[in-house]
Amino acid sequence: MQEEIRLSLTMEELNKVIDALGQKPFVEVYKLIEKLHTQATAQIEESEDVDHR
């Protein structure tokens, strides 16, 4: 099993990472981009839920 690492990025930094990955062939990076998107979306939704309380 691969060890997981947790990172903390600003939205701007995350977008730069995704832009850089977008320069690579789709088949090499699409799963990673999907994972980043899924985790970021979950965190944004969680933050919005806390803000609305």
Per-residue pLDDT of the chain (53 residues; tens, 9 = 90+): 799 999 999 999 999 999 999 999 999 999 999 999 999 999 999 988 887 77
| Confidence (pLDDT) at 34 | 97
**Cβ pair 21, 32 in contact under 8 A:** yes
| Confidence (pLDDT) at 47 | 87
Q: How many CB atoms lie within 10 A of CB 41?
A: 10
Closest CA to 29 of 11, 17, 44: 17
50 vs 13: CA distance, rounded Å: 23
**Cβ pair 14, 40 in contact under 8 A:** yes
Cut 0.85: pTM above it: no
